[in-house]
Chains A and B, each alone.
Chain A
Amino acid sequence: MSVARTAWLIARKDLRIEWKSRVITNQVVPFAGVTMVIFGFALDANTDVLELVAPGLVWLATMFSLLLLVQRNFSVEADDGALDAMRVAGVDARGIFFGKVIGLALQLLVLEVLLLFAAVVLYGETIRLDGAVLLVTTMISATCGLAAVGTLYGGLAAGSKGRETLLPLLTLPAVAPVLIGATRAVESALGTGVAELSDGWQWVSLLTVFAVAFGVGGSLAFGPLIDE
């Protein structure tokens, strides 16, 4: 079976499980929503400040939710030893990696749209039409990077007990460039503060390079990391 075919099957399987189990709608989305509300508490519900920092808070909430989603995505595999079974059956590790990345990326994208909507409602953020292309491009490239890093370290942390705590320690420093880049790019797209629309595109290039680097690096490293 080709890598693309494996990836497609795994992504479809993951999304189908999520669709049926409703863990995302029942737990992850509410968690992300609560995060957005408590950011409001922490910043004293000051709408001037909130509007200014909204892009950063959206991405921060995305990253916290990423940790939950990754754990969820791998507990599905690890509980029945499915990862080991697939490896023993000779399934290409790159296929598993890309399948997981695609599944995770699609879930993240849905979440990001909801979080952006929450920022509009709760923080008084406005979305302008001329920044729409930049906004969508940023979201897609940032999400691919996040999904690649999340899957890579999720695979490492999956399996034996006591490893779940390792996931945030490995993931958060690794996605720091995405947090910086995606926040600035969304600031440009929304026109928050003094951000110019044209400034956003150099961040998109960073996010794309990040996604490609961890996509390629991850597909090579994933096999050795999950083989035990």
Chain B
Amino acid sequence: MTTLDPKTTDTADSAMSSRSTGTKATRAIGIAATFAMGWLVLFGLVLSPADVNQGESVRLLYIHVPTIWVAYLSFVVTAVASGMYLFTKKHSLGWDRLAGASAEIGVAFVGLTLLVGAMWGRLTWGVFWQWDARLTTTALLFVTYIGYLAVRRLGGSHEQRAKRSAVVGLLSVLLIPLVHWSVVIWRSLHQTASVLDTDGNIDMDGTMLFTLFIGVIAFSLLYLWLVMHRTRALAMEDMLEDRGLDIALAERRAEGGTR
């Protein structure tokens, strides 16, 4: 049983010794992310102009677009990390924790994208939701990864969790193109004239494009910062579970010895 020996949970020890999930690197990234967010607020709310068609609601897109970009990025990371766990010889739990941390952040950011998108849709299209291909795929992506996170919490040893969730993580990747394909033909078949222009017809001027660019940078930095902290926090959780088991075992042994 590997779980009885805390030393086998590879990266966990180094994280544990500092008793914090922060390092110099995360601090630097955190400062950079804060700085970039400040810039985003400045450009998104003050310096960039209102849109000719959409008015002030265009500013929501400076959050909407970067959050969905981060969500896609995190699901790609989850898939790659799941594959690395399954197909590398070492089966390092570090990959599993990275996959889990990244999926958690991805789900949070898809949720944010849908929320901000619904607000923007209400202001621009007059409705919160459109059954267009992209929205439907995104909603299913959201539910699929909530399922993935539920699988991670099924219990069992760390190795069981890692193998199970890596397989489910890769199956989710298999699903995405099928879902996308189905909703694309579905919506193209049923397209009616009353459907509003989902492209939004954004007249991208230079400042707007630059603001969007800052948004992507700022949220990517935030993702990096979150994923590093979260991966280490998960390592600590695993450590705590192992230690707890060790302590309980030691106590039982001590009880046996005194008798």
Contact = CB atoms under 8 A, between A and B. Distances in A.
B186 A173 contact: no
A172 B156 CA distance: 25
Interface string B161-182: 0011001101100110011011
A75 to B, nearest CB: 17
B183 interface: yes
Contacts of B182: 176-177, 180-181, 206
> Nearest 7 CB-CB pairs, A to B?
A177-B182, A173-B143, A170-B147, A221-B167, A180-B182, A169-B147, A177-B178
Contacts of B167: 221, 224-225
B156 A174 contact: no
* Chain A contact residues, majority secondary structure: helix
B150 A169 contact: yes
Contacts of A172: 143
B164 A217 contact: no
Nearest to A195: B189
Nearest to B190: A184
B155 A206 contact: no
Contacts of A228: 156, 160
B248 interface: no
Contact of B179 (A176, A184, A221): A176
A181 B155 CA distance: 35
A85 interface: no
Contact of A173 (B144, B155, B168): B144
13 contacts: A170-B150, A173-B147, A174-B175, A176-B140, A177-B182, A180-B186, A184-B189, A206-B181, A214-B174, A221-B167, A221-B170, A221-B171, A224-B163
Interface size class of A (residues with CB under 8 A): 20 to 34
B151 interface: yes
Interface of B: 86, 140, 143-144, 146-147, 150-151, 154-156, 160, 163-164, 167-168, 170-171, 174-175, 178-179, 181-183, 185-186, 189
Nearest to B180: A177
Nearest to B141: A173
A170 B178 CA distance: 15
Contacts, number: 72
Nearest to A168: B147
Nearest to B145: A173
A79 interface: no
A199 B174 contact: no
Contacts of A184: 186, 189
Contacts of B185: 202-203, 206
A166 B150 contact: yes
Contact of A170 (B151, B160, B170, B174): B151
B164 A225 contact: yes
A156 B155 contact: no
B178 A213 contact: yes
Contacts of B156: 228
Interface string A160-199: 1001001001101110110011001000000000000001
Nearest to B177: A213
Contacts of B175: 173-174, 177
A17 interface: no
A159 to B, nearest CB: 9
A213 B172 CA distance: 12
Contact of A169 (B146, B160, B181): B146
Contacts of A152: 171
Contacts of B147: 166, 169-170, 173
Contacts of A176: 140, 179, 182
B125 to A, nearest CB: 23
Contacts of A214: 174
